[in-house]
């Protein structure tokens, strides 16, 4: 990797991939190079069976301050649609990765940065984190899924509040909204994120993927259809070696050793 690499990668205990957005002088703003590198990294992680979970964070005082304004300034009606669709596709790739991801939110998390964080499976934040969808102040709207994911995560009323006013909220308010599940001291953020993921990777990967799939895809179905969807995935899990191992380990009062089959 060069000194100008927009994303740095490291592995934690060989099964957790840490992705660090690395444009600190630009508050890790999402330019084309960073988006393209993120997409390729996610595709590689999805195909790599040794990677079981993803940790995403930012270098410096920001998680990600949003889209690169210089790039935004060049967009017209048609290229704006293409830009939004491209970002949506990348963030949806993270959301549907089939492996748990956790955004460790260390600072400014605005616009596209908040949209990226919402695409992760889970989110925790340091006390210094600041969240917002300020696009309205630039005469546009969130384009990478923000209007849709925010309303699903924190409710329509609160999503309208944040998107219409463009106001920012601090970590504790984000916690009360349900936008993040935990707030930590800044120096403990990565340690806590790694602790959570290390616990997840010890669990059965088929069950983890099934839970993420049923919650994600079942959310917008009718209750009856969603429960049928759940029943199908429950059956899929019951047919696995991991289910046999999990039940046997429980009865034998030992820690299960899941194989992903």
Nearest CA to 172 out of 159, 190, 163, 185 is that of 185
Host H or E run for residue 172: helix 171-177
Q: Which two tokens stand for residue 30?
A: 């999402």
Assess whether 261 carries a catalytic annotation: no
Rounded Cα distance between 189 and 35, Å, is 24
Cα separation, 84 vs 79, in Å, equals 9
Catalytic residue among 115, 182, 187, 257: 115
Nearest to 125 by CA among 53, 66, 176, 166: 176
Which one of the listed residues 5, 59, 135, 173 is annotated catalytic?
135
**Residue 245 designated active-site:** no
59 secondary structure, DSSP code: S
The token pair at 204 is 């059965």
Q: Which helix (H) or strand (E) holds 91?
A: helix 77-95
Catalytic residues: 115, 135
């Amino acid at each position: 990797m060069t000194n100008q690499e927009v994303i740095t990668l490291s592995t934690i205990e060989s099964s957790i991939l840490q992705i660090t957005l690395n444009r600190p002088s630009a508050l890790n703003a999402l330019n084309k190079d960073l988006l393209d590198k993120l997409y390729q990294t996610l595709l590689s992680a999805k195909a790599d069976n040794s990677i079981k979970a993803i940790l995403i964070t930012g270098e410096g005082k920001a998680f990600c301050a949003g889209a690169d304004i210089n790039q935004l300034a060049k967009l017209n009606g048609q290229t704006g649609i293409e830009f939004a669709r491209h970002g949506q596709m990348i963030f949806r790739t993270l959301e549907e990765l089939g492996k748990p991801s956790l955004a460790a939110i260390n600072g400014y998390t605005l616009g596209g940065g908040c949209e990226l964080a919402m695409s992760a499976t889970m989110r925790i934040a340091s006390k210094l984190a600041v969240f917002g969808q300020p696009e309205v102040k630039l005469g546009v709207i969130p384009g990478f899924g923000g209007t849709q994911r925010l309303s699903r995560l924190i409710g329509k009323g609160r999503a309208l509040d944040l998107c219409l006013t463009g106001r920012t909220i601090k970590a504790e308010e984000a916690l009360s909204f349900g936008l993040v599940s935990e707030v930590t001291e800044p120096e403990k953020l990565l340690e806590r994120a790694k602790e959570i993921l290390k616990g997840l990777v010890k669990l059965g990967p088929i069950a983890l993927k099934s839970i993420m799939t049923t919650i994600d895809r079942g959310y917008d179905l009718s209750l009856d259809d969603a429960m049928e969807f759940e029943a199908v995935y429950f059956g899929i899990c019951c047919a696995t070696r991991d289910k046999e191992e999990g039940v046997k380990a429980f009865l034998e009062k030992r820690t299960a050793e899941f194989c992903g089959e």
